[in-house]
Structure 1
């Protein structure tokens, strides 16, 4: 199901007065009655609730009403009501009926001003309800400036007031020159579904000229800076000396050889340092061992001294005489040291002394070996240090030569870099000068025209005109001929006769056919359309401009019957002074304003409240 909606009710409310309301339904709605019964006022209320900035005209019958409410139902069955204070710029919406609106606790506040960047305005609210979720861009003028599609742009093609319907220019246009381009873009979008997103904007003439002058000045400054840089580079080159290619080759070969030699010497140096470190570590280990052996020798000598002391002590004991205790005069209980025991002790002392002396001899031999190893290590380290010193001398001889040769290469690379920089700057100066000339020539040229056309193709227009032909055939149009679309006037022609050449009645009738056919065409082709058309006085007296004779009623009756039969799923609201002259076949809601408070409904307002 296509997106869209239909209007269910318009209501005015105010303090101290009964509500003024009118209900509508899907299909054909005809509100007929004499002048000054409120038909045009209802039309203006609908426009106001759809985002028009101007409120309904001030009439005495409406002086006590302060708010307008409108209830719609979307094609997917959602009921939405709107409320707007007269002369206010905010519309409040709620997903409920008009009857429940004031009981709702939450409303959606919608600004009247269109803003495509958010949905908090009545325009985007309605656009979303008819299936437009994305921003639609429309060409605004010949320079390609763009604006976004608003719901008011669409209302212009569907809500036709009594003055516009008889106008002698295109139904697409409002008559304002400044809005003609965007109005044509809206018509194209409605018929094709294609907007003007691909239209590229061209610059304003004065802005374009100012930009070109600014670019030329900028390029001139760049050229001046480049010339200064080029002079500095040339000055540096004048004090540089280039190396010839054959000399450069020899230098590079010698540098490679020196680097290889240096690399080998550094490896040897590393190996010698490692060997020296290993020798010194071994010497340190041997010296530590030698110190421990010195301590052990001291222990051995101490043991020998202790044995000698014990042996001498035994001799002294043998010579001591036993005597009674000088205190108690008793004999002391002691073990007697006999000569036999003394000999055994002496033999043990000698054996222990011999063992220690043998250990001392072995220890001294070991120490002598350690001293010899340390002497050998010292000799090896001295030789390694001699070799290391020789390699360091060789390295110190290679490095200055290598450094000198590399410096020559580096200076030559600096020369080459400066020369390349000079060539690049010179080429850049030439390019900038050519670019400056191009901009200067461009500044003398006329402003380029917009290349984007964005017109409706003839095939679509032919299909649309065929739809209008079908409508006019159904409406028994008595001057029927082939319908064509004149791009110059953006209006239709009947045969060779332009629509504006007809009298007011026929112009209004053909305008109505244009609007109804556009709704049918867009819906048939799954394009965007609200599904609502509102027409104020499409059947003003139909008279031939030339002859002044009346046109048969069959045309208006055929129109009503066609709308009732073929637009039952859409909504057509017609405000007309006179009633249909024959019964209407099909779905129709007829409301008659009698302008007689004693008979039927007087008008939109209750006349008793205004007497």
Structure 2
């Protein structure tokens, strides 16, 4: 089981590497375990010691593929088990063919054969989680920008910039160049600013980017080229507008514009007058049409009324005929009332019963009254029909007159419209000519402006950054603090004499007794590099700044080499002095004492000068000619 995450304590947050391992199909896993404090790997050459340093750097985002080893054939993955401040025990896996990382929670052995908990991108990115953002997040380092140049070009700080202070291979260990170099492509300004951020926690986000003189010249040359291209395009555009004009300066576009403006104003007045006439005619026509439509509606209503009245007159006639018949029947009945009774034969004067003739007489009177009434209504209806017919005839005549007037108006409107259309066509033709002229004037103004801009750019002189206005890297205060930390380390290592370490502000390197790095032998340069990397960590600890707390050194004790066997041959005078002083004893004792607050991994060809105590992990690689123990990394 993975150990629980560490409870907060007073020790600074740091990484602890536990295991470096390699696996492959049908291959037995090989690994190298590390103590939380000091681990020493020593032994013969060509045993894979330097390969292990490269592998650790590779697992911290190294972009270069690992060198090919005959012993490594068949292995395809590299693993690194670590304890981190926030995530606790984790294991990273990466293909030996480069690419991204797989992250497993827990130990290396638990990660084998199962799916990763998540993946991390190879390169630093803010769009998705990468190895760099993950590891920097464990240290509490967020988005940070480092100036690459004095003019303010910036790059993002990544775990790779920390890695150059964590893993030091043999070649850069003894190099004559300053140990602040991040990689071969990094500029001196960038190297210094990376060191500044590590030692102060202050990045360069606030720096305003200013182009240097070369960039200014390039930018100005590019602008001139663009202006010339735009100028040629504008001249060609104006020439295309007037293909028959050889000398474009003779166009006198302003005078043409004035004449066209005056002509256009005259046509505008004619066009307005024509529109007014057309509007008046249209208004008269609408009035005539409205009156005709109103009369037509009234005429239709009159015809409908006449039809209804005629239908009513027919009904009256029918009623009159019926009433006449009733009246004549009643008269006949009354005439029969003066004759002998048909029932009893009595004479009229002797008849006692009138047999209902009184009712007949009353009905006759009612019928006569109704007949007179209906005849009177029928006569009134006839007069109304006659009046309506006369009115309808008058309206039809007025409707016909209005239709003729409307036709006349239509002709007048069509004539006015044709005149307006012709005026509009002339106006639009003149307006189009004016628009073309104005476009040409616009192009002409553009040409003039471009020529002025071209002349200005031709006079341009780049302005460089004032000397001393921008300072890269750390100042003397932090530099002296770093030098003091390195000097303290040298004194604890019992460096011969009274070592005096100073900070060189120009190179950001440290000087031993006032001498430049290249004035020292390889072994002394290795010690200076080792002390520099540890000193950087110590300043970070003192200032409570993030640092992984790892220092991996390949051949820091080069002064103790065998001149007969080593590729570096004879010792220089200062190396011989170091070798004779027994510094290697104090070197290892110092690292053992520091085992509680940092992790040190030392790669050496020579064995330590004394048996290492418990708690220190020691790996001995016998080499290809060895007979006992582990021959090498694989």
TM-score, normalization: structure 1? 0.71
Comparing 118-127 and 425-434, the one that deviates more: 118-127
Which residue, 598, 601, 617 being the options, matches 1:591? Answer: 617
Alignment of 1:12-31 (within 5 A): 21-25=32-36, 28-31=37-40
From 429, 435, 445, the equivalent of 1:427 is: 445
- The aligned residue for residue 171 of structure 1 is 179
2:88 paired with 1:78: yes
Match of 2:112 among 102, 106, 123: 102
Q: Give deviations 1:304-356, integer Å, cap 9, x for gaps.
A: 22233445567888999999xxxxxxxxxxx9988766655544443332222
**Structure 1 residues 338 and 261: CA distance shift in structure 2, 3 A:** same
TM-superposed CA distance for 1:293, in Å, is: 1.3
- Cα pair distance change 1:59/1:549, threshold 3 Å: farther
1: distance between equivalents of 2:324 and 2:27? 146
Q: Distance in 2 between matches of 1:388 and 1:428?
A: 57
Instruction: Note if contact 1:534-1:574 (Cα within 8 Å) is conserved in structure 2.
Output: yes
Which residue among 232, 235, 245 is the counterpart of 1:223?
235
Does the residue aligned with 1:457 lie in a helix, a strand or coil? coil
Could you tell me how far 1:298 is from its partner in structure 2? 1.3
Deviation for aligned residue 1:363: 1.7
- 1:492 partner SS: strand
Tell me if 1:539 matches 2:557: yes
Deviation (angstroms), 1:417: 3.1
**Residue 188 of structure 1 contacts residue 455 of structure 1 at CA under 8 Å; is this kept in 2?**
no
CA contact (8 A) 1:193 1:528 kept: no
Shift of residue 590, structure 1, vs aligned partner: 2.1
CA 1:527–1:384: 2 relative to 1, 3 Å: farther
Contact kept? 2:61, 2:160, Cα under 8 Å = yes
CA 595–173 in structure 1, closer or farther in 2 if over 3 Å, else same:
closer
Q: RMSD across aligned C-alpha pairs, in angstroms?
A: 5.8
- Which region of structure 1 is more displaced relative to structure 2, 421-430 or 358-367? 421-430
- Equivalent residues in 2 for 1:489-508, closer than 5 Å: 491-494=509-512, 496-508=514-526
Aligned equivalents of 1:523, 1:232: Cα separation in 2:
82
Partner of 1:300: 316
- Which deviates further from its counterpart, 202-211 or 167-176? 202-211
Unaligned runs of 5+ in 1: 324-334, 597-601
Q: Distance in 2 between matches of 1:209 and 1:42?
A: 51
CA distance in 2, matches of 1:374, 1:63: 119
User: For 1:271 and 1:67, how far apart are their aligned partners in 2?
Assistant: 97
- Aligned-residue offset at 1:463: 0.9
Paired with 1:263 and 1:86, the residues of 2 have a C-alpha distance of 89
Aligned residue for 1:79, secondary structure, equals: strand
Whether 2:300 is the aligned partner of 1:280: answer: no
Measured after TM superposition, the shift of residue 409 of structure 1 is 5.3
Q: Say whether 1:354 aligns with 2:372.
A: yes
1:64 and 1:345 map into 2 onto residues whose CA distance is 140
Q: For the residues of structure 1 that align with 2:106 and 2:112, how far apart are their CA atoms? A: 10
| TM superposition shift of 1:97 | 0.9
Q: Structure 2 CA distance, aligned partners of 1:255 and 1:120?
A: 72
2:381 maps to what in 1?
Answer: 363
Measure how far apart 1:46 and its partner are.
2.8
Cα distance in 2 for partners of 1:547, 1:83 equals 41
Equivalences for 1:467-506 in 2 at 5 Å?
A: 467-476=482-491, 478-481=497-500, 483-485=502-504, 487=506, 491-494=509-512, 496-506=514-524
Q: Deviations over 1:360-418 (max 9, x none)?
A: 22222333443454466567667877887887787678667766766665555445434
Distance in 2 between the 1:283 and 1:64 partners? 111
Check whether the contact 2:253–2:441 (CA below 8 A) recurs between aligned residues.
no
Aligned CA distance change for structure 1 residues 91 and 355 (closer, same or farther; 3 Å): closer
Specify the SS of the correspondent of 2:38.
strand
CA distance in 1, matches of 2:290, 2:399: 11
Instruction: Give me the whole-angstrom Cα distance separating, in 2, the residues matched to 1:40 and 1:391.
Output: 108
Deviation at 1:79, TM superposition (A): 0.9
Distance 1:259 1:450 in 2: 69
1:466 aligned onto 2:481: yes
CA distance in 1, matches of 2:601, 2:575: 31
Which moves more between the two structures, 416-425 or 394-403? 394-403
For 2:316, what is the secondary structure of its paired residue?
A: helix
Distance 1:186 1:485 in 2: 16
Does the CA-based 8 Å contact 1:557-1:582 persist in structure 2?
no
Give the gaps of 5 or more residues in structure 2. Answer: 1-7, 246-250, 343-352, 561-570, 623-627
Distance 1:493 1:132, change over 3 A: same
